[in-house]
Amino acid sequence: MSAVISASILASDLLNIEKTVSELENSGIDMIHYDVMDGVFVDNITYGEVILKKMRSITDMFLDVHLMTIKPLALVGGFANAGASSITFHLESSSDAFETIRAIKSYGLKAGISIKPDTEADKVIPYLPYVDSVLVMTVEPGKGGQSFMFETLEKVMIISEYIKASDCKCIIQVDGGINTETARLAYDAGARNLVAGTFIFKANDMKAAADSIRF
């Protein structure tokens, strides 16, 4: 399977979302990655369901919502109604993971579960048969433009081995510090959905940048 590319709009020109969405549509990028930060689970605050709904009103693209929030379960309905295509939440949040997965699925959306760099792979494995994707954070969540943490690759490999050895259909997503070098390493370790912000939006040609990491 070739890599699915998700563009994190956190690194885009947020004063021109409409232009960005149209460029993404024309670039063949597979998904728009929408980082939601609540100032509690992580220090920063980004955007919520209101802006997502505006984006949904101008595009049919897959909207990949990444909730870096302390109580994701409480937000599932709002983001589903705003037009999310998938919702990923953190295992380290305070919501019950199975209940949150069930809530996301009840809206017919794809469900993802994420772990921060310090969380071991074995903590997330029990949930893998019930989700569509597992997001292994390759930076500390909370801001864009950070350097890839190479030590997280081992977790990608462990999870990938587990998926291969089981009937599980879930795919591994990586997020943070992705560029041509780190994308290759993550792909070789077993990741099949690569999220890139700075790499795509600071490139002169976003289509060429995305194509260069679609192995």
Q: Using CB under 5 A, list all residues that contact Zn ion.
A: 35, 66, 175
Biggest CA–CA distance in the chain, Å, is 46
Of the listed 30, 64, 132, 175, which one is catalytic?
175
Picked from ligand DX5, Zn ion, none, the partner binding residue 145 (CB below 5 to 8 A depending on kind) is ligand DX5
Q: Which residue is nearest to ligand DX5 (CB)?
A: 197
Of the listed 35, 38, 64, 132, which one is catalytic?
35
Residue 131: CB minimum distance to ligand DX5, A? 17
DSSP conformation class of 9:
G
Picked from Zn ion, ligand DX5, none, the partner binding residue 155 (CB below 5 to 8 A depending on kind) is none
The question of whether 118 is a catalytic residue gets the answer: no
- Per-position DSSP letters for 124-192, written without gaps between them: HGGGGGG-SEEEEESS-TT-SSPPP-GGGHHHHHHHHHHHHHSS---EEEEESS--HHHHHHHHHHT--
Footprint on this chain of ligand DX5 (rule: CB under 6 A): 8, 10-11, 33, 35, 66, 139, 141-146, 175-178, 195-199
Residue 146: CB minimum distance to ligand DX5, A? 5
The question of whether 64 is a catalytic residue gets the answer: no
Residue 68: CB minimum distance to Zn ion, A? 7
Q: Could you tell me if 11 and 144 are in contact, meaning their C-beta atoms sit under 8 angstroms apart?
A: yes
Residue 102: CB atoms within 10 A of its CB come to 14
Residue 99: CB atoms within 10 A of its CB come to 11
The smaller minimum CB distance to Zn ion, of residues 35 and 132, is found at 35
Residue 6: CB minimum distance to ligand DX5, A? 8
Instruction: Provide the Cα torsion 183, 109, 17, 175; round to 10°.
Output: -20
Residue 128 and residue 152: Cα distance in Å, rounded?
18
Question: Which residues are designated catalytic?
Answer: 35, 175
